[in-house]
Amino acid sequence: MFPYLNIDVEKSIDEFIETNKKLSNGVKYMMDIKDLESDSTPKDISYTEDKMKLYHYKSQCEKVSKTPTLIVYALVNRQYMMDIQPDRSVIKKLLESGLDIYIIDWGYPKQEDMYLTMDDYINGYINNAVDHILKTNNVDKVNLMGICQGGTFSSIYSSLYPEKVKNLVTMVTPIDFGVDEGLLFKWGKHLNIDNMVDAYGVLPGDLMNSGYLMLKPFQLMLDKYVNLVDNIHKPDIMTNFIRMEKWIFDSPGQVGETLRQFVNDLYKGNKLVKGELKLGDKEVNLKNITMPLLNIYAEYDHLVPPSSSAALNDLVSSTDKELASFSVGHIGMYVSSKSQKEIAPKLANWLLERD
């Protein structure tokens, strides 16, 4: 002990040795990881079109819902976040509850896709996927479940084709882009998207990721790595951490013309709420949404302000509509313990009651 420096040398040396031991074991463990078990729930490819794949999950119980459910994920990041690991898979939980689940994988767009528009995605790919499901299952309607930007697309689709949608579920979905909350919404209103699209054609996923990290720089780029040192010797925690890191940085590029319209018409023009949005020759009117609606938002969402999501319920004509929230963040909606204990059961029960 050096009293004048208030340092316990013996204790400091022990802590130094222990930390090195943890780091050594952690590095050894990371080198041995081979299978992260993401996206492992059994499924088949049911339909493909260009780079889009439509997966159909294998049933996991004897009694399955009459109405198939199509999940439409955002163009940003990858859809397997809903099947991130076997013991935290929203997909697996929904299947075990008796839902018949399809999901769209948008793939990784290349330069040849730069001219695809929102019209192509919604009136093209989503509509063709829905028609395929209707024909395959010999039914008249599907349940539509939209995630984040996929929820915006699903709401637009439901307003254009209400006769094909039995129930609409939206989760952490931006609808009212006029709200002045959240850094992403503030940036979106001032972003020179035209220059970026003209320069890149397809915006690199890494560029988009850098922007998302800047929304919470200390937490996303510093805190989580500093805190990791304390747990680096624990295999389960390290596997979960690396699994999430892989998903976060598995970012597809963004098709320029679609992103241009999304930013200009929605973030800047707020045309969806104003009833001024057009896709191709079709005018989008959210009042055409008459089917039951379950709209779920995350109370601590740093990407989509809750008020932006909640606005949908006042813009539709549905008489059977519910607004629900959970005390989680944007991603926690799918990977937290609440996703298994509360959120997935809520989704399944609400849809099965209206099957």
Give the residue numbers annotated as catalytic, written as ranges.
148
CA 251 to chain centre: 12
Q: Count Cβ atoms within 10 A of the Cβ of residue 222 and give its class: 0-12 exposed, 13-18 middle, 19 or more buried.
A: exposed
Beta bridge partners of 20: none
The pair of structure tokens assigned to 267 is 């973030």
Single-letter amino acid code for the residue at 262: F
Q: Which long-range contacts (CB under 8 A, 24 or more apart) does 327-330 make?
A: 327/299, 327/300, 328/298, 328/299, 328/300, 329/298, 329/300, 329/301, 329/302, 330/148, 330/172, 330/298, 330/301, 330/302, 330/303, 330/304
Write the CA distances from 287 to 110, 280, 337, 354, integer angstroms: 36, 19, 35, 21
Which residue blocks in 63-182 are alpha helix, DSSP H?
90-96, 118-119, 127-137, 149-160
Place of tokens 């949005």: 277
| Sign of the torsion angle spanned by Cα atoms 233, 236, 239, 241 | negative
